[in-house]
Structure 1
């Protein structure tokens, strides 16, 4: 059997060299780069460039001011406080946060303090506490009952349903109130609380309808306190000459002087001082305290101040601010003198949404939606106002970062698109396809009309 013959090479054709093969790969890469950069430029112009331009045009004022959450309402998702994906806005209701907006207070440094005590206190009243009716559905989740997610210390009492729930023999249910912020309870915590006669631990719309007493609950699993003893928080205070209210703790004791910007504004020879500060730090020995964002410095008669035993009396003293420490409200301003708005919508940014898809809004709402209805202090956080509108403020703003993101989202894909297109145009001028469909580099060969190699000259006979 003879040797297999190779097919003849095309007459007049060109064989591709290594340079031509690499040039072909380069063209494919440039085409891919031009497509990706073009799509990226279009996409980034919507989710980065346009919002960044709107943010810069709004001219938000730096430094930041202070927001204190007032309430959370369900509103239109066209412009929510925070949405997880900007392109999916609209449709259902979304939580919208409203806050009181004011300028920052001053920094106050207390020195030579002694006998300082601290305790969490709340001015909430029993009938103002969060209440849960175990037979009712959760307003935010129809698949759950109001008692499915009970947490912390609950005071549960029997109550009558307006309408008997199908599946229950009785029209009685349980009304549970969250008393964690206003009561301190001690007692025997039973090892296996019988939240129903059948001993079911997890509460639902059809269980926990006969609770009576004090319960400690974690995500709807409740344990009953046996023989509980509950006392009101912060009702037996023994004041010194200073009372400082912060969102987390109430501090009181005795100090010798207070300074603002290095200037002594109060000493122990003056009347007792009370004030509000957003944050408070103290040294290891507790003899020096530094309060940030302090307001409503109020002096009080020594006899009246020493008679104060209740936290609500301190709050009333601060709210009235009848005898301010600084009558000019410059060294230690009152809240009224720095108030910007008593109820403004709060958004995470100018669009009210994010595109990170990392549950950023879930964490944002967990922090900013604390409005104090559970007896805790409402959320206090920095925010930014714009002279263009008084109807909203934003919490996430950094001008230099915004400019950097806008430039980066514009320059990088644009440069890649221009570079890839220029390469394609240049390659289009330097390559060709011969009559046999074979790709070749024009400058690398002498051409004839059909794109083949020029035949060698024949010698004369």
Structure 2
């Protein structure tokens, strides 16, 4: 039978402050121990490898030379989304050129500065034609890239020089045979067997009238007409303002030498002065050269001609006062790029996708190559790192070591103290032994008093439940 109504509880209600304190200490102790186990793989071991790696803490410059997507992991990958498990293919493999910083230049009295952009063509954004549906490809015209009847019109973004020498295919009828590259004229398509074939992006025209400076930075060309160019020499080795040498400038170029061409990391114009005259500052400039003004086409030229002119000018004797050629600055001609020493991240925020997007431009189809600071090992050219910060690694190691260890020690010590000062009386109620402590200031009870009070309560309950007459 169940307990009688109004009968005292077998286990009395406990002090909530004591129970809550013990539960919180147990929870903190468990979480701290689990975090120490996890952090040993995620923080402690990588930090130890970083501190003992021997990489130079002073950054160099990396320039992407090749991006390859591997179907199998092999022995390396530039970036993986999760360090504790194997990433899924394809695996990005970025090869870079490691070199010293280029030259900072300053151009004076520049008029009509303009930035002309020619970004990389995005084939993923092209409209897809499904020739497997009736009437979808009745009027397609241009150069198409097809796979099992699904075709994209490359002519929307490229001007291609093709020689169609394959079989003729009716795109509206023999749609399943559309695999490869085809030149189509109103659904009559002929296969292009010789691949790859040259294609140029459709880009804005570059004005050549009244300019004598052309600076490449990324996929942008800055054009202007300037009066003088200076090389800026800064004391980058010394970071102490008190002993740092003042910045020096040396005359590098004048319009009499010809049209200045150079590839820079960044080029910016200053605020306009009188008569809309600007100064232009360009950072990390390399491959500086000059070409005769008569080599520029009248009024306009396209990007293809500009790139060929720039590459041809590199073969000539280089003026030592201009930004140096890249070969003179190279530390390692080829190196494998890793996002960090482990080649992976644990944030699960698609960092690898953004990393490859920003650092994986290899100059295909005359696009700008990615340039970014990187870190190298003076005795080993095999790997270069995009992220390497000794001071931050030390701070993270100290924080992630101190906080969980201190919490674990404090919580375990508190539990040990609880085993000494918290006692359970004969009435099954927990009390703190020391008088005046939090949650335990009730005096200890006498066992005999407890038993007599329980008997009195039971007698009163029986009298109230079963009354009798005194007749």
TM-score w.r.t. length of structure 1 = 0.69
User: Which stretch of the first structure deviates more once superposed, 147-156 or 386-395?
Assistant: 147-156
Give the C-alpha shift of residue 153 in structure 1. Answer: 1.2
How many residues in Structure 1 have an aligned counterpart in Structure 2? 379
Partner of residue 135, structure 2 = none
Q: Distance in 1 between matches of 2:433 and 2:169?
A: 89
Residue 22 of structure 1 corresponds to 17
| Partner residue in 2 for 1:168 | 174
Q: CA deviation at 1:26?
A: 0.6
1:52-451 aligned at under 5 Å gives the runs 52-75=47-70, 77=73, 79-89=76-86, 92-116=89-113, 118-120=115-117, 134-136=145-147, 147=151, 153-155=157-159, 160=166, 168=174, 171=177, 175=181, 210=189, 237=208, 240-261=211-232, 262-268=248-254, 271-272=257-258, 273-283=260-270, 284=272, 285=276, 287-299=278-290, 304-309=292-297, 310-320=305-315, 322-326=317-321, 332-387=323-378, 389-434=380-425, 437-444=428-435
Given that 2:64 and 2:95 are in contact with CA atoms closer than 8 Å, whether structure 1 keeps it comes out as yes
Distance 1:377 1:5, change over 3 A: closer
Deviations 1:230-276 (A, max 9, x none): 98976884575433333223344432222223423234275224322
Separation in 2, partners of 1:357, 1:151: 38
**1:111–1:258 CA contact under 8 A, matched in 2:** yes
Cα distance in structure 2, aligned partners of 1:431 and 1:196: 91
Measured in 2, the distance between the counterparts of 1:132 and 1:342 equals 37
Q: Is the 8 A contact 2:144 2:153 kept in 1?
A: no
Q: 1:121 to 1:416 in 2, by over 3 A?
A: closer
Question: Which residue of structure 2 aligns with residue 37 of structure 1?
Answer: 32
User: Secondary structure of the equivalent of 1:81?
Assistant: coil
Q: CA RMSD in A?
A: 4.2
- SS at 2:78's partner residue? coil
Q: What are the superposed Cα offsets for residues 134-177 of structure 1, whole Å, 9 maximum, x if unpaired?
A: 3337xxxxxx96x4696951458766479999x93685667279
Gap change, CA 1:267 and 1:91, over 3 Å in 2: closer
CA contact (8 A) 2:286 2:326 kept: yes
**Unaligned ranges ≥5, structure 1:** 125-130, 138-143, 178-193, 198-208, 213-229, 446-450, 457-461
3-state secondary structure, aligned to 2:257: coil
Unmatched 5+ stretches in structure 2: 122-141, 192-200, 233-247, 298-304, 437-443, 450-471
Rounded to whole Å, the distance in 1 between the matches of 2:370 and 2:294 is 30
Q: Is the 8 A contact 2:68 2:93 kept in 1?
A: yes
Decide whether aligned partners of structure 1 residues 365 and 169 sit closer, same or farther in structure 2, where only a CA change above 3 A counts: closer
Question: Which structure has the bigger radius of gyration?
Answer: 2
Are 1:154 and 1:176, in contact at CA under 8 Å, matched by a contact in 2? no
Structure 1 residue 53: deviation in Å?
2.3
Q: Is the 2:57–2:388 Cα contact (8 Å) retained in structure 1?
A: no
